[in-house]
Amino acid sequence: MADRVRVSSKGQIVIPKKIRDELGIKQGDYLILEYDESKNEIILRIIKIF
């Protein structure tokens, strides 16, 4: 699944609702953003803290 997002003037992005729902991302969840320089990709990982 892919979607296009725009970076705000504050450097923020919004994860589209259909992707949040598919991944089960809820308000207050923690995420890790990794940058893969060799592929020029950003990888988003969800951390579930119980």
pLDDT in tens, 12-43: 999 999 999 999 999 999 999 999 999 999 99
HSE, side-chain direction, 13 A CA sphere, residue 11: 0
What CATH code is assigned to 1-50? 2.10.260.10
Kindly tell me if the per-residue pLDDT of 3 is higher than 80. Answer: yes
CA 29, 47, 7, 5 dihedral sign is negative
39, with CB counted inside 10 A (0-12, 13-18, 19+), is exposed
Per-domain boundaries in the chain: 1-50
**Lookup: tokens for 48:** 């579930």
The pLDDT score that the predictor gives to residue 2 is: 86
Contact in structure between 33 and 44 (CB atoms under 8 Å): yes
The pLDDT score that the predictor gives to residue 19 is: 94
The pLDDT score that the predictor gives to residue 4 is: 94
